[in-house]
Amino acid sequence: MIKYENACLTDNKTVLSWIEEMAAMTQPDKIVWIDGSEEQAEALRKEACSTGELIKLNEELLPDCYLHRTAVNDVARVESRTFICTPTKEEAGNINNWMDPAEMYAKLKKLYTGSMKGKTMYVLPYSMGVIGSDFAKIGIELTDSIYVVLNMLIMTRAGKKAAEAIDDSFIRGLHAVADCDPENRYIVQFPQDNTIMSVNSGYGGNVILGKKCFALRIASYLGRKEGWMAEHMLILGIEYPDGSIHYVTGAFPSACGKTNLAMLVPPEVYKKQGYKVWTVGDDIAWLRVGSDGRLWAVNPEAGFFGVAPGTNEHSNPNALATTKKETIFTNVAYHPADGTVWWEGLTKEPPEGLIDWTGKPWDPAKYNKADKTTAAAHPNSRFTTMAKNCPCISDKFDSVTGVPIDCIIFGGRRARTAPLVYQSRDWQHGTFVGAIMASETTAAAAGAVGVVRRDPMAMRPFAGYNMGDYFRHWLDMGKVIKNPPLIFNVNWFRTDAEGHFIWPGFGDNMRVVLWMLKRAAGEVDAVETEIGYEPKPEDINIEGLDITLDTVKELLSVDKEAWLEDCKSIREFFAQIGDHVPQEMYDELDKLEKNLKK
């Protein structure tokens, strides 16, 4: 029998024997249950400050905020070391890394054995979703990192109440920092075993197991099995002057401004009419069909794990305001003179005397914008912050039913191909529109088109099973959603011949979202094009903007040659996914090509 340092929060035998087995393997000195109390969290923060794991920031300027630095070789999710270990490779598909589960368990066992010697194992029960709601799922993360515990306390609903809701279907997560050896770093999902194992990393996305590992990879697998959807989507509510609120979800690959859209500030023209925006989620949506036949969404998380660089008063004042208290900053720059933090883009000029994200004095003279390695904050530096502190958090954030969705928005970063917005003809076409999502790097100054990365529904790194079967699940869901949301694609990043962005973006994206909501309400006509329905240019409100109707026409133009080229790359990508791609996706592709060649 193992000895717990404090009261055990469950007597569930499956849980206890799993903890026993994991403890026998990792051999911690102590085992501590995390109860979610402020006293325990505060004691852990103090302990982490005493060892240097955390640095306490200025209590006046940033109350209850801390800085953490990861190892320099451990600063991002590592897709190359992330595995989906299903019994057969076919179940995981060609897009995921796969290894035979028995082989992977044996490999991991070696890495975990004795890895917690001299350390404490924390047992953290948590819920993704509001405890007690139909959506909620319970997990337990075992970790040897206080940083992980404190992040999970922000990002999930963790502690005693979650422990009370545990049953045998709980998701098992084991995390050990071990030697933080990148050559032996593994982030592994065993979907059939409800199990996540992460070793040799201390960085957010690899170790905050409730987030990508559970709420997307494992949950997408469970969603398919149980008839719901786990998606990499923000959830946003738009309040009209009459007080009604209409909700949309949006899936975007990284670097497309997803957190900014989730917390957008309405342009003046709408603000003065009384429009407001409410954030339900910035990263993950769990979606179920309601008894009214509509699709309902919850955000299973309790916090935001956002990218810091580029966040400022202009780009995202709501996110910035959220980080002003009870926040953990990871790999940002430190300003010892006043105990605050800084990152590129926070202010025009950096304060003097910064310590860079690696802990060394930063020399601004050596900073070169084009070379990210010279930055004071790591380009993927983060804030972990509480949703409840967000000024525009929705009052439905804690709702057990979630919110009904009128529109699903897909988007990517395309210099030329995708127009500002288009609507799919129906659910099947909408699934295709999501399946062909892509983002490309743009050499902005030269206007050159960069490399295209296909990222279906922004789920490429997060689908817990074969991508072809994931498309099939979307099609199947379409058959049971009687009143489905409309599906759109947007591109905020269209450039002119000189490579300048044409659309202002940020809060002005609301102008496009409002057109979508009008479509959903049947209040506005659209023009049928080769790729789907587009707005009449005059239906995009440009009042107060520095652009003309001609610019909107340009933003909506369809470059048939570029699209036909794109079709070739889509066909190659579908071939890469393999023979699980549903025939319906090829039918849509054929139709698109035919339309473009007409």
Unique residue bearing structure tokens 């379409």: 478
Partnered with residue 329 across adjacent β-strands are 67, 383
Q: Can you say how many angstroms the Cα of residue 540 is from the centroid of all Cα atoms in its chain?
A: 28
Could you please report the per-residue DSSP string of 216-243?
IIIHHHHHHHHT-EEESEEEEEEE-TTS
Question: Considering CB distances under 5 to 8 angstroms, the limit depending on partner class, which of ligand OXD, Mn ion, none binds residue 35?
Answer: none
| Residue 455 makes contact with Mn ion by CB under 5 A | no
- Considering the complex, state which of residue 77 and residue 472 has its C-beta at the smaller distance from ligand OXD: 77
List the one residue out of 165, 286, 143 whose CA is nearest residue 209: 143
- Considering the complex, state which of residue 283 and residue 326 has its C-beta at the smaller distance from ligand OXD: 283
> How many other C-beta atoms are found inside a 10 Å radius of the C-beta of residue 11?
8
- Considering the complex, state which of residue 331 and residue 428 has its C-beta at the smaller distance from Mn ion: 331
Structure tokens at 508: 């002005």
Listed ranges 121-129, 152-160, 282-290, 485-493: which one lies at the site for Mn ion (CB under 5 A): 282-290
Q: Determine the Cα–Cα distance for residues 221 and 215; give it in Å rounded to an integer.
A: 10
- Considering the complex, state which of residue 125 and residue 281 has its C-beta at the smaller distance from Mn ion: 281
Residue 12: partners with Cβ closer than 8 Å, 6 or more residues away? 166, 167, 168
Residue 574, amino acid? F
Q: Name the active-site residue from 85, 256, 392, 407.
A: 256
Residue 425: partners with Cβ closer than 8 Å, 6 or more residues away? 532, 533
- Catalytic site residue 180? no
- Considering the complex, state which of residue 234 and residue 585 has its C-beta at the smaller distance from ligand OXD: 234
- Considering the complex, state which of residue 80 and residue 368 has its C-beta at the smaller distance from ligand OXD: 80
- Considering the complex, state which of residue 40 and residue 189 has its C-beta at the smaller distance from Mn ion: 189
Partnered with residue 141 across adjacent β-strands are 124, 173
- Considering the complex, state which of residue 144 and residue 455 has its C-beta at the smaller distance from ligand OXD: 455
Listed ranges 33-41, 279-287, 357-365, 577-585: which one lies at the site for Mn ion (CB under 5 A): 279-287
Q: Determine the Cα–Cα distance for residues 314 and 346; give it in Å rounded to an integer.
A: 9
Question: Considering CB distances under 5 to 8 angstroms, the limit depending on partner class, which of Mn ion, ligand OXD, none binds residue 378?
Answer: none
Tell me how many residues contact Mn ion (CB under 5 A). Answer: 1
Cβ 484 to Mn ion, closest distance in Å? 24
305 in helix, strand or coil? Answer: strand
Residues that bind ligand OXD (CB under 6 A): 77, 205, 254, 283, 305
Residue 259, amino acid? T
> How many other C-beta atoms are found inside a 10 Å radius of the C-beta of residue 477?
21
- Looking at residue 365, the DSSP 8-state letter turns out to be G
Cβ 205 to Mn ion, closest distance in Å? 8
List the one residue out of 253, 248, 305, 252 whose CA is nearest residue 279: 248
Residue 221, amino acid? Y
Question: Considering CB distances under 5 to 8 angstroms, the limit depending on partner class, which of Mn ion, ligand OXD, none binds residue 205?
Answer: ligand OXD
List the one residue out of 421, 448, 437, 453 whose CA is nearest residue 519: 421
CA distances 184 to 92, 197, 211, 461, Å, are 21, 13, 22, 19
Unique residue bearing structure tokens 């070391």: 81
| Residue 283 makes contact with Mn ion by CB under 5 A | yes
Residue 176: partners with Cβ closer than 8 Å, 6 or more residues away? 26, 111, 112, 115, 116, 143, 144, 198, 199, 200
| Residue 508 makes contact with Mn ion by CB under 5 A | no
Strands (E) in 377-482, as ranges, are 382-386, 403-411, 421-423, 438-443, 448-454
Residues with a catalytic annotation lie at: 256
Residues that bind Mn ion (CB under 5 A): 283
